[in-house]
Amino acid sequence: WLNNRAENSHLAFRRRERAMLRFRRMRSLQKFASVHASVTNHFNQERSLSSRPLFKANRAAALAEWRNIGAA
């Protein structure tokens, strides 16, 4: 059980590692990673830490802010 927990904790890292294999140049990877990190941090909220109404309100606020930034 402990081994499975340790393996599952690395899944996000492995997913990112797989995505990095597509890039041939380090510079293009860095550009992508910087944009991806800001978008992910903006939308990724820990669902288990908040109630459903609060989660939906936060997600709607993040989407509205994203649309506002995109329109500018």
One digit per residue, the tens of pLDDT, for the chain of length 72 reads 556 666 666 666 677 777 777 788 888 888 888 888 878 877 777 777 788 898 889 889 988 988 888 786
Print the domain residue range for 49: 2-71
- Residue 60 token pair: 């709607």
The helix or strand, by DSSP H or E, that contains position 3, with its residue range, turns out to be helix 2-9
Our count of domains for the chain comes to 1
The CA angle 16-17-21, to the nearest 5 degrees, is 115
* Overall pTM > 0.85: no
pLDDT, position 28: 83
pLDDT of the residue at 13: 67
